[in-house]
Amino acid sequence: MATIFSKIIAKEIPADIVYEDDLVLAFKDIQPIAPVHILIIPKKEIATVNDVIEADEVMLGRLFIVAAKIAKEQGVDESGYRLMVNVNHDGGQEVFHIHMHLLGGRRLGPMLVKKK
């Protein structure tokens, strides 16, 4: 199903695009939670990781190739960064078009706050 990200892919709404090729688009998150916060998305509309099929393998692998390239360009490859993909309600997914968050530029802290 089309989301706001489909409109960004179609250039119907603006975004600060940092990378584009035939399969993948990457743009700055509109509400960054770190000095570097970029969303890397496949151009194909896939709602969640649960909807991935084997034929998506190359395209989804590309997300990591692009992440490494952007991390280097943004100067966080050595300092470190986090790649995050949220899935459904408990994962905190808000936009139902698969996206990889690239977060960096500060110490990001633990993965999750431990339950007491």
Q: Residue 49 corresponds to which tokens in the numbers above?
A: 């990781």
Rounded Cα distance, 69 and 82, in Å: 14
**Contact with ligand 5GP (CB under 6 A): which of 9, 24, 25, 27?**
27
The residue among 54 and 109 lying less far from ligand 5GP, judged by its C-beta, is 109
- If one asks whether residue 45 binds ligand 5GP (CB under 6 A), the answer comes out as no
Rounded Cα distance, 5 and 8, in Å: 5
Q: Is 99 a catalytic residue?
A: yes
**Contact with ligand 5GP (CB under 6 A): which of 12, 31, 55, 111?**
31
**Contact with ligand 5GP (CB under 6 A): which of 9, 15, 25, 26?**
15
Among candidate residues 55, 34, 50, 41, the one with its CA nearest the CA of residue 3:
41
Among candidate residues 8, 27, 13, the one with its CA nearest the CA of residue 74:
27
> Which residues of the chain form contacts with ligand 5GP (CB under 6 A)?
4, 15, 27-31, 39, 86, 92-95
- Catalytic residue set: 99
